[in-house]
Amino acid sequence: MLVQAGFDAVLVENMHDLPYLLRTVGPEIIAAMTLATKAVVDAVDVPVGVQILAGANREAISVAHASGAQFIRAEGFAYASVADEGIFAEADAGPLLRFRRMIGAEHIAIWADVRKKHSAHAVTADLSITDLVSGTHFAGADAVIITGPHTGSPASEIDIDAARAASPLPVMVGSGATPESLPSLLHRASGVIVGSALKVDGHWENDLDPARISRFIEARRGC
């Protein structure tokens, strides 16, 4: 439905797998995500990404590599934070990039969240978004993702502009995009990741809403 409507890529994520595990997930999750992602890869002719919550980035790289996906969305790639799952105390960039090379998956891009939603960032409060994006670039990310504080919350346009100025990496908006905000977001960023705005009543847990999908694509065509 999304690809036929005109979306450029699809991201497969275990968002209903509540409550999320911190970094280490079970083999049943990896197996299920591999099957689901492979089914999506076989069904569409656009790039497919993988995210395994929460912060299971090496598992996501493995799933992407086995299924033919092209990118992952990575939490906790650089810097520490505190989320509802607990403390992301160790940045994942060093282990993740070494693992990606070890399994021959360097063609899979890493889109890294910066100051991610649903997290407390007091431990990095003395760093600006410019500092964080620059550090994430230095750590080896292929793109950065800027979000609001919660699912469905708009990202700060000031943060998006600062991220674009801080690094040559593509800047993706990771939450809160709507048909109304899309023209401004696409003027500032390389792209947007959208979920809630495409669902019935705008709630992430509901089914896709064809009318909302159509409005979003029409807004994109008008940009």
Q: Residues 160-164: what's their mean pLDDT?
A: 97
- Across the chain, mean pLDDT equals 96
Q: Residues 170-182: what's their mean pLDDT?
A: 96
Q: Residues 165-182: what's their mean pLDDT?
A: 96
User: Where in the chain does DSSP place strands (E)?
Assistant: 10-13, 48-51, 71-74, 81-83, 86-88, 109-114, 119-120, 143-146, 171-173, 191-192
Question: For residue 112, which phi and psi values (nearest 5 degrees)?
Answer: -105, 130
Q: What is the pLDDT of residue 60?
A: 98
pTM over 0.75: yes
Label residue 29 exposed, middle or buried (CB < 10 Å: 0-12, 13-18, 19+): middle
pLDDT over threshold 90, residue 184: yes
Domains and CATH numbers, the chain: 2-221 (3.20.20.70)
Helix-, strand-, coil-residue percentages of the chain, each rounded to 5: 40, 15, 45
Q: What is the pLDDT of residue 149?
A: 87
pLDDT over threshold 90, residue 223: no
Closest by CA position to 198, among listed 5, 50, 13: 5
| Better-predicted residue by pLDDT, 164 or 150 | 164
Q: What is the pLDDT of residue 170?
A: 98
pLDDT class of 152 with cuts at 50, 70, 90: confident
Q: What is the pLDDT of residue 130?
A: 97
| Better-predicted residue by pLDDT, 110 or 222 | 110
The bridge status of strand 71-74 relative to strand 10-13 is unpaired
User: pLDDT above 90 covers what percent of the chain?
Assistant: 95
In tens, the pLDDT along 33-46 reads 999 999 999 999 99
Q: What is the pLDDT of residue 160?
A: 97
Q: What is the pLDDT of residue 222?
A: 86
Distance of alpha carbon 18 from alpha carbon 103, whole angstroms: 29
Q: What is the pLDDT of residue 82?
A: 93
Q: What is the pLDDT of residue 133?
A: 98
Q: What is the pLDDT of residue 51?
A: 98
pLDDT over threshold 90, residue 63: yes
pLDDT over threshold 90, residue 10: yes
